[in-house]
Chain A
């Protein structure tokens, strides 16, 4: 069991650029979640997938954000036209019942 992996671990970008993050869940897990964590706060839910179906999206997920899980395995989270307020840690979790988290991708928007 290799755990949840995320790539990249760190991303620095300029305001207005697009960024894409990848999450590889634990292999037998059918559910996959994305959360965002800002400094000094707990993670906040963004969206989740059961297999390839996106079943819930938070109001935090503006139209600049899009997530996919095309074959029910890995997932990508894309942010278009990044803003400084998007700077945060983006966490992915996968589950059969209990959610297990990856190491996160820290995004810094300059």
Chain B
């Protein structure tokens, strides 16, 4: 069975500081991994995804994530936080092929303060 653990339900950073949101996954088969962002009262927007190939994945809005198989991790980073990055972030996993259901973590709420 697949699962996702997001460490830290709330993360607070200063504007301009590094953003690091942690995600660890469990999967018995090679996973596809995703980060989605959700703004209040809205649906989920895809930030980036890892399928195969390069383990460092770049996404929208300056975010990137690195797939580390040995650590079963897929942490999300951004070098410099912006006020507009304040939102809820979800890590998700699915089986290779990406056609199956997404299994989500519980989410991390990112606050950015001046």
Contact = CB atoms under 8 A, between A and B. Distances in A.
B85 to A, nearest CB: 19
A69 interface: no
A66 interface: no
A40 B98 CA distance: 25
B7 interface: no
B83 interface: no
Contacts of A58: 101
A5 B42 CA distance: 12
Chain A binding surface SS class:
strand
B99 A56 contact: no
Contact of B98 (A6, A97, A102): A97
Contacts, number: 56
B107 A41 contact: yes
A8 to B, nearest CB: 13
Interface in B64-114: 90, 92, 98-107
Most buried by A among B45, B99, B107: B99
Given A97-B98, A98-B98, A101-B36, A45 B103 contact: yes
Q: Which 7 A-B pairs have the closest CB atoms?
A: A42-B104, A45-B101, A101-B43, A101-B44, A103-B43, A97-B98, A104-B43
Interface of B: 4, 9, 34, 36, 41-46, 49, 90, 92, 98-107
